[in-house]
Chains A and B, each alone.
Chain A
Amino acid sequence: MDSFAILPQQLVFGIALGTVYSLIALGYTLVYGILFMINFAHGEVFMIGAYLGWGLLTWLLSAQLSSLHPLWVLPLLLLQGMIGAGLVGLSLEFFAYRPLYKRGATRLGPLISAVGASIFLQNLVMLTQGARMKVYMTSLLFPPSWRLQVAGVNISALLIVITLTSTLLMFGLHYLVQHTTLGRAMRAVAEDREMAEIVGVKVWRVIAATFFLGSSLGGAAGVLVGLYYTQIDFFMGYSAGLKAFTAAVLGGIGNIRGAMLGGLVLGIAESLAVTFMNPAYRDVITFAILILTLIFRPTGLLGERLSEWEKL
C-alpha cells in the first residue's frame, strides 16, 4: 500500500502510543526531578502493572460474570494496576534507594541499586509467573467491531480509550503537582531540598509519595499496553522502559510537561518511521533520537539550562 495513504492511520497509532510513553516517562522524570536519580527499575514497575491487570482480567473472565462491560472493568483494572505498581515503587524507594541515601551515597550507588532492582524484579516475575508470555483477552472486553471510521481512518474503541485514559491521568498529575499541598511540597523538595526541610516539609515522605505517584502511572501504562498488544512477558519493561526514558530525556528530564511532550513526539516519530521504513528500524529511530538529543540538546526540548543537577 502507498505509504502516504496510511499516514493518517499511523498518526493515530503514534498519538496513542505516544501518550502511553508519556505516562511511563512521567515516572522517570518525577523521580529524577526530586532525587536526581534515574530509576532504572521503573520499566519493571510498568511490567508488574501489566501483570496485575492481566491477573485481574483473567480472573474476572473465569468468574463467568454475566457481562463484562469495559465501563466498570477498565477502571477496576487500572485502579488495581496503579495501586499495585505504586506499592512496588514505594518498596523500591524504601528498600533499594533510601538506605543508600541515608548513608550518604553519591549518585552512582543508587543507580547501580536501580539496575539491580530491575534485574531482581524481572526474575521474580519470571520465576513466579513463568517465562512464557501471558495473553490479555482484550477482544472479550473491547470487541473488534467497536470502531470509528473517520475520513478513511480506522480508529478502534480501545485506541480511543487508551489515548483518553493516558491524557486524563496526565492532566490529573499536572493538577496535583501544580495545585495541591503535596504537589507544592514536591516542587519545593525538587528545587531546594534543605529549604523545604527548613519550612517543615518531611522530605522523605514527599519522596515516597513521588515514587508512589510515578509508579502508579507506570502501572496504568502497563495495563493499557497489555490491553493493546495483548501479549505480555517479564521482559517487556526493559525496552518500554528505555523508550520512555528516551522520551523523558527528549522532553527534558525532570520536567513534567517535557515528559508529556517527549512521549508524544517519540510515539509519533516511531509510527511515522515505521510507515516509511522497514518496521525493524523502529528501535533504531528511538535510540538515534536519544543519542542526538544527548549530543545536541542535553537539557531536552523543555529542559532548563540551569537545572539543579548542574550545580551539584
Chain B
Amino acid sequence: MLKLSGVVTSYGSLPVLKGVSLEVKGGEIVCLLGGNASGKSTTMKTILGTVPPRKGTIEFDGQRIDGLPTAEIVRRGISLVPEGRRIFARMTVWENLVMGAFTRREAPADELTEDLERIYGLFPRLRERRDQLGGTLSGGEQQMLAIGRALMSRPRLLLMDEPSMGLAPALVDLVFDIIREINSRGMTILVVEQNASVALSMAHRGYVLKNGRIVMHDRASALLEAEGVRRAYLGEA
C-alpha cells in the first residue's frame, strides 16, 4: 500500500533521512522504532509531504505521491496523528473534528454527520465534550481527539507519531487498544513508538531506524526477541 524507496530528506544541508526504504501492506500495523533524532518523525512528515524528500520515491497504492502537496496526499487517503497530539486548543472538540475533514469539505453534510457519529461512537467522551475547547481536555482525551480528527479525512493509511507519549500507563494501554480496534476494522497503520515493547506486541512487522537509516526489519515477534532491539529499546542490559 505504501512504499518508500531510498528516501533522502534534509533540513537545509543537514541530512536526516539517508536512504530510507520501507513498505506497509494493506491491513497491517507496522511499527517504526528508533531512538531520539533517528528520523522517525521526519519519516512521517516526508510521507505526508510537509517536508519534501530530496531523493527517492514514495508510492501509495502504486502511484507516486512524493512532491505532491500535503492537501492532495491527505485527500488520497493518508492522515497523521502527530507527535504531541497537536490538537487545536482554541477550537472546540467539534471544530477540531471538522478540521480533520478539511479535505472533504465539499462532501455532503450527511456524510460528515455520519463520520462524526462514527468517531463519537468510538470515543463517547468526545461527544460529551463536543462544545468544549480542545485545550481544556485531559491528555488522554486530547489523544482521542487527535485520532478522531485524523480519522475524519477517511484515510486508508493512518500514520501515528508517538501515540503513547506523555500518557499515564493506564491510558497507554487504552490508546493501544484503540489502535488495535481501528486496525481490526480494516485500517492500515504505521506507528512510530519509543515504547517498543508495547508497540511490537501490537504490530505485525517492525523497522528499526538509526541515524536516518533502516538497520533492521522483521516480523514484530522476531524483533521482540532480537538481541539488538532488546538492548537498545527494551531497556535490558
Is A312 at the interface (CB under 8 A from chain B)? no
Interface residues on A, range: 10 to 19
Bound-state Cα–Cα, A188 to B80, Å? 16
Is B48 at the interface (CB under 8 A from chain A)? yes
Query: Which residues of chain A are near B124, meaning CB under 8 Å?
Result: none
Query: Which residues of chain B are near A195, meaning CB under 8 Å?
Result: 82, 86, 88
Query: Which residues of chain A are near B71, meaning CB under 8 Å?
Result: 197, 200-202
Is B98 at the interface (CB under 8 A from chain A)? yes
Is A283 at the interface (CB under 8 A from chain B)? no
Bound-state Cα–Cα, A169 to B204, Å? 56
Contact between B91 and A200, CB atoms less than 8 A apart: no
A192, chain B: closest CB distance, angstroms: 6
Contact between B50 and A197, CB atoms less than 8 A apart: yes
**Of B50, B90, B102, B149, which is within 8 A of A194 by CB?**
B50
Query: Which residues of chain A are near B80, meaning CB under 8 Å?
Result: 198
**Of B75, B90, B105, B153, which is within 8 A of A181 by CB?**
B105
Query: Which residues of chain B are near A194, meaning CB under 8 Å?
Result: 50, 86
Bound-state Cα–Cα, A187 to B91, Å? 8
User: Closest residue of chain B to A179, judged by CB?
Assistant: B95
Bound-state Cα–Cα, A147 to B11, Å? 65
Query: Which residues 181-203 in A have Cβ within 8 Å of B in the complex?
Result: 181, 184-185, 187-188, 191-192, 194-202
**Of A187, A197, A200, A202, which is within 8 A of B153 by CB?**
A200
Query: Which residues of chain B are near A200, meaning CB under 8 Å?
Result: 70-71, 74-75, 102-103, 153
Bound-state Cα–Cα, A200 to B82, Å? 13
Query: Which residues of chain A are near B103, meaning CB under 8 Å?
Result: 199-200
Contact between B99 and A198, CB atoms less than 8 A apart: no
Measured CB to CB, the residues of B under 8 A from A are: 48, 50, 69-71, 74-75, 79-80, 82, 86, 88-91, 95, 98-100, 102-103, 105, 149, 153
